[in-house]
Amino acid sequence: MRLTLLFLFLWLASFCSYGQEYPRSSQYIFNNYLLNPALSGIDSYIDLKLGHRQQWSGLEGAPSTQYISVNTAIGDDYIRSSINSFPGRGYNPLSRSYVNSYTAAEPHHGFGLIAVTDKAGLVRQNNVNATYAYHLGLTTDMNLSVGVSGGFHSLTVKVEDIRAEHETDPLFNADYNNLLRPDLGFGVWLYGPRFYVGTSAKQVLGKRSVFKDQGYSVLAYQSPSFYGTVGVKLFLDEEIAMIPSMLVSYWKNSPMAIDLNMKLAYQDKFWLAGSLRYNDAFSFLAGFNLSSLVNLTYSYDMSTTAIRRVNKGTHEIGIGFLLNNTYEVKCSTRQF
Tell me the pLDDT band of 94, cut-offs 50, 70 and 90.
low
What would the pLDDT profile of 239-256 be if each residue is shown by its tens digit? 899 999 999 999 877 788
Extents of the domains making up the chain? 23-205+221-323
Q: Is residue 16's pLDDT more than 70?
A: no
Q: Write out pLDDT tens, residues 35-50.
A: 999 999 998 889 999 9
- pLDDT for residue 122 is more than 50: yes
23-205+221-323 sits in which CATH class?
A: mainly beta
Backbone φ, ψ for residue 172 (5° rounding): -65, -20
The yes-or-no verdict on residue 120 having pLDDT over 50 is: yes
The dihedral over CA atoms of 289, 230, 117, 221, expressed in degrees to the nearest 10, equals 170
C-alpha closest to that of 107 among 84, 127, 134, 132: 134
> What pLDDT shows up at residue 5?
38
Average pLDDT in the chain: 81
- Contact in structure between 203 and 227 (CB atoms under 8 Å): no
Residue 183's nearest CA partner among 208, 153, 161, 156 is: 153
pTM of the model: 0.83
Give residue-wise pLDDT tens across range 167-216.
666 555 555 566 778 899 999 999 998 999 999 999 888 665 554 555 44
Bridge partners of 245, per DSSP, are 231, 261
**Residue 209: its pLDDT value, please?**
52
Select from 315, 318, 263, 324 the least CA-distant residue to 33: 318
pLDDT of residue 121: 79
Q: How far apart are CA 8 and CA 313, in angstroms?
A: 18
pLDDT at 10: 37
Q: CA dist 53 to 2, 9, 119, Å?
A: 25, 22, 11
Q: If pLDDT is split at 50, 70 and 90, which confidence band does 67 have?
A: very high
Q: What is the pLDDT of residue 243?
A: 94
| Residue 232 main-chain phi, psi, to 5 deg | -140, 145
